[in-house]
Amino acid sequence: MPFVNDVIKQRSLSIVGLEKNTGKTVCLNYLLKRLSTMSGPSITVTSIGVDGEQTDSVYATAKPEITLYDGMRFVTSEKHYLGRQLVSRIVNVDERRTALGRLVTADVVARGKILLSGPSTTEGLQRLISAQQAAGIDLTIVDGALSRLSLASPTVTDALILATGAAVSPNLQQLVSKTRFVQRLINLPEVPEDTKATLNNIDSGLWALDNDGVAHDLHIASAFLVGSDKELFAYGDTFFSAGAASDRLLKLLTAHSRPTTLIVRDFTKLFISPDTLASFQRKGGKLLVLQRSNLLAISFNPTSPQGYRLDSRAACETLASATGTPVYDVMQCNL
């Protein structure tokens, strides 16, 4: 599949799902098996949270375990390292502790199955990826836990694969609509380089940019604390939210008499609804990011834990047409 060739060009990759049971682990296993047959990059595999369990904790349905191959490196907690079903050689034991013990880095000597439980925070994940790169590892793959879209931030991993499927909605039209909305946020355009240089080191608060591109602190600690639009427009119609941005802020900007521009660090900072974004953009509003995420592909799982099943070919074709992104049901792919 073409996206595998794109994957090996990355330094780090996250696989994230819109919901549970959208096929993240199936996609990961497909990638790992394909990569094991290639004389490609050295690979480390980990997870944010816990992934690879045999039974879904919510639906009590069987889940695919994670299979690792000879020569691959992995990072998991002490608890789950002790329960591994493969032969491995320990490379490092991190002194930082998680709820499941210290993180163990090991190389696979003989293939087998593993439960992955890596860092529980994006900051911990960033440290782990940096350590792997410093150790000469070419590619770190992160399996997302639940719907942790935050790990898909371009400040964490270089690229992502988005997992969607019947678990999001058994109705194809709704499934396409929800997936397309997230895909649109992932692909939001970046600001110009001079604006990026101005805003990149601002790490908190709500700011305004004047016509000369100078940033002014509005002394509002968070976009969630904006009281009214009267305190916003002293310097112009362009704003930067260093933290999260919500429907409330977007609605205030939409109500302004002139079109406005809102800049956020990346798409994971947006907690907005499709209707609110549509109203904002109809008014001429622009939504931009400091860093655009690199979406390589969308993986599709046609079945849901409730027993719904969608037509895989029709759904993949419809999703690809709606998003302009390659869509694959990896269960239908020839290894």
| C-alpha to C-alpha distance for 107 and 90, rounded to whole angstroms | 6
Q: Which of 97, 89, 138 lies closest to 119 in space, CA to CA? A: 97
* Measured CA angle at 270 (ends 264, 273), to 5 deg: 135
> Which of 58 and 251 is assigned the larger pLDDT?
251
Say what the pLDDT of residue 146 is. 52
Say what the pLDDT of residue 52 is. 47
Say what the pLDDT of residue 195 is. 96
H or E stretch including 328? strand 327-328
* Measured CA angle at 275 (ends 178, 176), to 5 deg: 20
* Measured CA angle at 240 (ends 194, 179), to 5 deg: 100
Residue 155 has phi, psi (to 5 degrees) of -80, -10
Q: What are the respective helix, strand and coil percentages of the chain, to the nearest 5?
A: 30, 30, 40
Using the predicted structure, report yes or no on whether residue 335 has a pLDDT greater than 80. Answer: no
End-to-end CA distance of the chain: 9
Say what the pLDDT of residue 129 is. 94
pLDDT digits (tens, 9 = 90+) for 107-144: 999 999 999 988 888 888 999 999 999 999 999 999 97
Residue 22: partners with Cβ closer than 8 Å, 6 or more residues away:
163, 164, 165, 167, 168, 299, 301
| C-alpha to C-alpha distance for 100 and 264, rounded to whole angstroms | 34
Say what the pLDDT of residue 41 is. 86
Residue 258: how many other CB atoms lie within 10 Å: 11
Tokens 């079903």 correspond to what residue?
85
pLDDT digits (tens, 9 = 90+) for 70-117: 999 999 999 999 999 999 999 999 987 888 889 999 999 999 999 998
Q: Are 223 and 241 in contact (CB under 8 A)?
A: yes
**Assigned architecture for domain 2-187+293-332:** 3-Layer(aba) Sandwich (3.40)
Using the predicted structure, report yes or no on whether residue 160 has a pLDDT greater than 80. Answer: yes
Domain ranges of the chain: 2-187+293-332, 193-289
Q: Are 190 and 290 in contact (CB under 8 A)?
A: yes
> What is the rounded average pLDDT of the residues 151-174?
90
Q: Which of 206, 200, 177, 325 lies closest to 266 in space, CA to CA? A: 200
Mean pLDDT of the chain: 89
**DSSP string computed for 249-314:** HHHHHHTSSS--EEEESSGGGEE--HHHHHHHHHTT-EEEESS---EEEEEEE-B-TTS-B--HHH
Q: Are 48 and 119 in contact (CB under 8 A)?
A: yes
> What is the rounded average pLDDT of the residues 184-190?
96
Confidence class for position 169, pLDDT limits 50, 70, 90: very high
Percent of the chain topping pLDDT 90:
70
Cα–Cα distances (Å) from 81 to 15, 235, 279, in that order, read 22, 55, 50
Say what the pLDDT of residue 228 is. 66
| 304-309: long-range pairs with CB below 8 Å, 24+ | 304/21, 304/165, 304/166, 304/167, 304/170, 305/20, 305/21, 305/56, 305/58, 305/59, 305/61, 305/167, 306/170, 308/166, 308/170, 309/166
Q: Which of 88, 83, 54, 94 lies closest to 68 in space, CA to CA? A: 88
Residue 334: partners with Cβ closer than 8 Å, 6 or more residues away:
none
The one-letter amino acid code at 248 reads R
